[in-house]
Amino acid sequence: MSRLSVRKTYKLYIGGAFPRSESGRSYPVTSAKGDFLANASRASRKDVRDAVVAARKAFPGWSGATAYNRGQILYRIAEMLEGRRAQFAEELGGAKKAALEQVDAAVDRLVWYAGWSDKIAAVHGTANPVAGPYFNLSSPEPAGVVGVIAPADPLLGLVSVVAPVIVSGNTCVVVASEPAPLAAITLSEVLATSDLPGGVVNLLTGQQAELAPWLAAHMDVNGIDLTGVEDEDLALRCEQAAAENLKRVLRPSAEDFGADPGTRRMTRFLETKTVWHPSGV
């Protein structure tokens, strides 16, 4: 006897919870062969605003946490991702060996950035020589709320754009890969059950062309990563919108997420604070 399949419709991830899209819309997610996999929520402008509010609310606590604590939380996320290795590999599809290798690479990338949490300030901070009885110290601080347009690479690419933003103390609103959002949705389930405070990462699924401009134009967003925007006209519109409140913009010309991603993604959304302090007093 045949039975009717129960089709899963995944929700958004905002403020540590899983709300339905305000729009009530969804879209089908299919495999590379065109087979139906699930429905994903299609976020709206209102969902973008709600996600930014959640990210802003989480920013003081997350940016005020110690760098060591942030690194430990990223390491815990890597542990949990490792524990669900087979599930992530299945959702990535394709050859099993290649999918497992991508999951392993994503785990390694999280551990790599976790290790930088308490080192980035030492590398990019400095004591400045001055003429006078003063100490002059420069130290990096997080910019605030960062919008992230995730690349098509559904797991390693996603981890590679989110981890450097949050390890340095920022919070973020992420627009997941439109054609392949399932790995991002599963990652949000990992984040929700890890030690990461709600609102630090907020994940939206839907149409990139619909969501990216609103995120770029939002006046309470301090930076935007356009890695996943391949349409030149859309990228230009986002950059122009970001200029309205002088957002920090990252738009790499090519990104392969190689073995050594460097520190640019961390430093792009850091600001330098310089403090003068009298010496010998």
Residue 259 has pLDDT above 70, yes or no: no
> Can you say how many angstroms the Cα of residue 143 is from the centroid of all Cα atoms in its chain?
14
Residue 132: per-residue pLDDT: 81
Residue 170 has pLDDT above 90, yes or no: yes
In angstroms, what CA-CA distances link 250 with 72, 148, 243, 257?
26, 9, 12, 15
- pTM of the full structure: 0.93
> 270, 140 in Cβ contact below 8 A?
yes
Could you give the 3-state DSSP secondary structure of residue 33?
Answer: coil
pLDDT band, residue 254 (cuts 50/70/90) = low
Residue 223: per-residue pLDDT: 97
Residue 255 has pLDDT above 80, yes or no: no
Residue 175 has pLDDT above 90, yes or no: yes
In angstroms, what CA-CA distances link 102 with 126, 177, 233?
37, 16, 31
Which of 166, 184, 204 lies closest to 58, judged by CA? 166
Q: What is the Cα–Cα distance from 204 to 26, expressed in whole angstroms?
A: 12
- pLDDT tens per residue across span 76-93: 999 999 999 999 998 887
Residue 264 has pLDDT above 80, yes or no: yes
Helical pair 67-83 and 85-92, crossing angle rounded to 10 deg: 70
Q: What is the Cα–Cα distance from 112 to 40, expressed in whole angstroms?
A: 30
- pLDDT tens per residue across span 43-57: 999 999 999 999 999
Residue 67 has pLDDT above 80, yes or no: yes
- pLDDT tens per residue across span 106-136: 999 999 999 999 999 888 888 888 888 888 8
Long-range CB contacts (< 8 A, 24+ apart) of 183-187?
183/88, 183/91, 183/92, 183/154, 183/155, 183/158, 184/150, 184/154, 184/155, 184/158, 185/10, 185/13, 185/40, 186/84, 186/87, 186/88, 186/91, 187/81, 187/155, 187/158, 187/159
Q: What is the Cα–Cα distance from 259 to 267, expressed in whole angstroms?
A: 18
Domains of the chain: 12-19+42-278 (3.40.605.10)
